[in-house]
């Protein structure tokens, strides 16, 4: 079900009305409307595969209570009078081991569901479609149970509320990966929709739709024509053009979808986790990953990177390298290994194909190398008398990071690692701008796109860039529009609606969200 469809609009309208009525008459039960919306949405899209979701919810609900009880019992036991220090310590270790066993069981169980649904069932003789949002809600489930183990917050005793945390409908299509401590309060609170909140939700949704349909969908045919299985025969200039468009398309598609999901969620008073913070203004790849798909990046950092870095073997290795080569070397090696692991997993999370893993490793390797070379860069800057706050240096770094991301597209889009490498090679050693320009010109003559589509996408991209610049400098264009008088708001609204609708007239067909496939 597309966000921009009568089905979704009717669905949201029905549940918003029900939500408001329940909020008026039975405020304490308002969360059940959200739960009902989540379950209905899941069943509408994935039918009986809701079993996967229910099993996940039951496992983390039960697991969290068992782990929490174990911690409570252990604390009570240790408070008893007359226990020796050794007995208390032994009890603590026993309890921790038990909790570890429970948490491992629940995590393995949930990952097994994900593994089965995403990596095993699709390649069987009778492939089965993915249950809706399993890649996203599984990570949410794992984060919940690990946080309970770490006693970050109290477990939720109501299984319905745990299920709601996993199946909140706007997050189901392509995330973000919400955290319980962040979204929980909003999910269970009583809320009445106000006019300013409605306006905010509307404009967030509308701008998201413009990103998706006026940018991503209009650029997609050109990207598909340039970055495909035949890409190895194209000159570097053409490939670079395709990869550049892909970087824009991917951002517009993913962040547009997230905006639309957030807009829908705001109508119910639920503010979901921020997933993008102007990623193309990043000055390094590691910063990019703190601004791009933030919810996945922070999940990987908290539940893979840090736990891995602090394992005993890694700590020992760190100590050994520190002693022999100095602190920076230890940090760079341990960070590098951890980044490679994390990004290989990020690649695998996108899909079981080799090119995704290569794409992940490309990211991990660049981050590892740039960490290792950080002192070298610093000394070069000192030598050239370039200050830390130099605007030129900032622009250079932003451009450099953007190009690194553009090149990553070769592995991300093209289904063959070998072809990805050939594209890389062609970009640097077979640029051939004359042939490339001819091929770019052919995109229009071969009915792949049209001048109208390019102009429409161009206008929308300018809007996106202006919006990003304002946000980067601490302003919020959406909030600004929402707080103006209605005449101004309407002009903006009609302009965006006009752009959106016109984009459909020049579009060569819409497709689902990229990240919905992950």
Binding of other proteins by 459 (CB under 8 A): no
Binding of other proteins by 490 (CB under 8 A): yes
Contact 161, 31 (CB under 8 A): yes
Span interacting with other proteins, options 53-61, 90-98, 295-303, 490-498, rule CB under 8 A: 490-498
> How far is the C-alpha of 372 from the C-alpha of 362, rounded, in Å?
15
Among 5, 158, 311, 442, contact with other proteins (rule: CB under 8 A): 5
> How far is the C-alpha of 273 from the C-alpha of 232, rounded, in Å?
39
Among 124, 389, 473, 505, contact with other proteins (rule: CB under 8 A): 505
Binding of other proteins by 195 (CB under 8 A): yes
Span interacting with other proteins, options 5-13, 144-152, 222-230, 410-418, rule CB under 8 A: 5-13
> How far is the C-alpha of 10 from the C-alpha of 47, rounded, in Å?
19
Cβ of residue 513: shortest distance to other proteins, in angstroms? 12
Contact 337, 304 (CB under 8 A): no
**Nearer residue to other proteins within complex by CB, 45 or 463:** 45
Contacts of residue 394, Cβ cutoff 8 Å, sequence gap at least 6: 283
**Nearer residue to other proteins within complex by CB, 165 or 207:** 207
Measured from the Cβ of residue 351, the count of other Cβ atoms closer than 10 Å reads: 17
DSSP annotation of 215 = I
Which residue in 19, 293, 350, 355 is the catalytic one? 350
Cβ of residue 164: shortest distance to other proteins, in angstroms? 23
Contact 236, 431 (CB under 8 A): yes
Measured from the Cβ of residue 382, the count of other Cβ atoms closer than 10 Å reads: 10
Among 77, 153, 431, 504, contact with other proteins (rule: CB under 8 A): 504
Among 97, 495, 498, 517, contact with other proteins (rule: CB under 8 A): 498
Buried b / exposed e over 413-433, threshold 16 CB at 10 Å, is bbbbbebbebbbebbeebbbe
Among 450, 454, 508, 518, contact with other proteins (rule: CB under 8 A): 450
Cβ of residue 38: shortest distance to other proteins, in angstroms? 17
Among 58, 62, 497, 518, contact with other proteins (rule: CB under 8 A): 497
Nearest residue to 305 (alpha-carbon basis) of 282, 320, 286: 286
Binding of other proteins by 441 (CB under 8 A): no
**Nearer residue to other proteins within complex by CB, 9 or 396:** 9
> How far is the C-alpha of 32 from the C-alpha of 51, rounded, in Å?
19
> How far is the C-alpha of 225 from the C-alpha of 347, rounded, in Å?
24
Site for other proteins in 67-126 (CB under 8 A): none
Question: Is residue 350 annotated as part of the catalytic site, yes or no?
Answer: yes
Cβ of residue 497: shortest distance to other proteins, in angstroms? 8
**Nearer residue to other proteins within complex by CB, 219 or 358:** 219
Cβ of residue 214: shortest distance to other proteins, in angstroms? 12
Distances (CA, A) of 88 to 74, 92, 235, 512: 9, 6, 69, 56
> How far is the C-alpha of 124 from the C-alpha of 121, rounded, in Å?
5
Burial status of residue 287 (CB atoms within 10 A of its CB: 0-12, 13-18, 19 or more): middle
Among 317, 452, 477, 508, contact with other proteins (rule: CB under 8 A): 452
Binding of other proteins by 17 (CB under 8 A): no
Binding of other proteins by 513 (CB under 8 A): no
Contact 38, 172 (CB under 8 A): yes
**Nearer residue to other proteins within complex by CB, 429 or 486:** 486
**Nearer residue to other proteins within complex by CB, 400 or 489:** 489
Contact 375, 327 (CB under 8 A): no
**Nearer residue to other proteins within complex by CB, 402 or 504:** 504
Binding of other proteins by 486 (CB under 8 A): yes
What is the number of residues in the chain? Answer: 518
**Nearer residue to other proteins within complex by CB, 278 or 449:** 449
Contact 412, 424 (CB under 8 A): no
Span interacting with other proteins, options 1-9, 131-139, 149-157, 335-343, rule CB under 8 A: 1-9
Distances (CA, A) of 93 to 292, 379, 401: 39, 48, 46
Six-digit token pair at 334?
A: 């341990």
Cβ of residue 220: shortest distance to other proteins, in angstroms? 14
Binding of other proteins by 510 (CB under 8 A): yes
Binding of other proteins by 42 (CB under 8 A): no
Site for other proteins in 245-284 (CB under 8 A): none
Cβ of residue 510: shortest distance to other proteins, in angstroms? 5
Site for other proteins in 209-228 (CB under 8 A): 213
Six-digit token pair at 355?
A: 């090119």
Dihedral sign, CA of 166, 170, 176, 180?
A: negative
Span interacting with other proteins, options 6-14, 117-125, 284-292, 432-440, rule CB under 8 A: 6-14
Cβ of residue 453: shortest distance to other proteins, in angstroms? 9
End-to-end CA distance of the chain: 16
- Longest Cα–Cα distance of the chain, Å, equals 87
Number of residues that bind other proteins (CB under 8 A): 22
Write down the H helix ranges in 302-353.
306-309, 312-325, 327-350
**Nearer residue to other proteins within complex by CB, 277 or 489:** 489
**Nearer residue to other proteins within complex by CB, 273 or 443:** 443
Active site residues: 350
Contact set with other proteins (CB under 8 A)? 1-2, 4-9, 195, 213, 450, 452, 486, 490, 494, 497-498, 501, 504-506, 510
């Amino acid at each position: 079900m597309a966000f921009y469809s009568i089905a979704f609009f009717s669905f949201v309208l029905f549940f918003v009305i029900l939500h408001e009525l329940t909020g008026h008459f039975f405020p304490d039960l308002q969360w059940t409307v959200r739960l009902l919306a989540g379950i209905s949405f899941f069943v509408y899209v994935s039918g009986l595969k809701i079993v996967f979701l229910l099993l996940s919810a039951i496992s983390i609900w039960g697991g969290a209570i068992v782990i929490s009880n174990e911690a409570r019992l252990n604390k009570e036991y240790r408070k008893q009078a007359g226990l020796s220090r050794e007995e208390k310590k032994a009890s603590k270790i026993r309890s921790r081991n038990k909790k570890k066993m429970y948490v491992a069981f629940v995590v393995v169980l949930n990952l097994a569901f994900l593994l089965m649904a995403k990596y095993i069932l699709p390649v069987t003789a009778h492939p089965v479609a993915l249950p809706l949002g399993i890649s996203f809600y599984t990570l949410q489930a794992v984060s919940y149970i690990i946080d309970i183990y770490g006693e970050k917050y109290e477990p939720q005793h109501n299984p319905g509320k745990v299920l709601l945390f996993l199946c909140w409908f706007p997050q189901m299509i392509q995330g973000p990966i919400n955290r319980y401590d962040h979204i929980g309060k909003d999910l269970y609170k009583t809320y009445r929709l106000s006019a300013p909140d409605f306006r905010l939700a509307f404009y967030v949704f509308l701008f998201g739709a413009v990103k998706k349909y006026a940018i991503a969908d209009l650029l997609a045919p050109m990207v598909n024509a340039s970055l495909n299985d035949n890409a190895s025969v194209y000159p570097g200039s053409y490939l670079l053009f395709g990869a550049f468009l892909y970087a824009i398309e991917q951002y517009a598609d993913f962040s547009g979808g997230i905006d639309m999901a957030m807009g829908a969620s705001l109508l119910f008073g639920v503010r979901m986790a921020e997933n993008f913070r102007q990623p193309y203004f990043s000055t390094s790849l590691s910063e990019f990953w703190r601004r791009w798909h933030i919810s996945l990046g922070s999940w990987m950092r908290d539940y893979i990177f840090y736990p891995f870095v602090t394992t005993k073997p890694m700590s020992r290795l760190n100590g050994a390298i520190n002693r022999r080569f100095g602190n920076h070397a230890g940090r760079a090696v341990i960070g590098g290994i951890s980044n490679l692991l994390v990004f290989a997993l990020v690649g695998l999370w996108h899909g079981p194909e080799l090119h995704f893993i290569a794409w992940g490793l490309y990211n991990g390797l660049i981050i590892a190398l740039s960490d290792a070379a950080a002192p070298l860069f610093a000394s070069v800057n000192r030598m050239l008398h370039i200050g830390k706050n130099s605007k030129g240096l900032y622009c250079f770094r932003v451009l450099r990071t953007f190009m690194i991301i553009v090149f990553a597209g070769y592995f991300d889009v093209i289904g063959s690692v070998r072809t990805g490498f050939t594209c890389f090679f062609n970009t640097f050693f077979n640029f051939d701008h004359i042939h490339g320009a001819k091929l770019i010109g052919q995109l229009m003559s071969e009915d792949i796109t049209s001048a109208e589509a390019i102009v429409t996408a161009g206008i929308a991209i300018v809007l996106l860039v202006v919006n990003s610049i304002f946000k980067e400098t601490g302003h919020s264009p959406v909030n600004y529009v929402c707080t103006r008088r209605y005449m101004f708001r309407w002009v903006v609204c009609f302009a965006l609606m006009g752009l959106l609708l016109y984009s459909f007239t020049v579009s060569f067909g819409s497709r689902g969200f990229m990240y919905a496939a992950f």
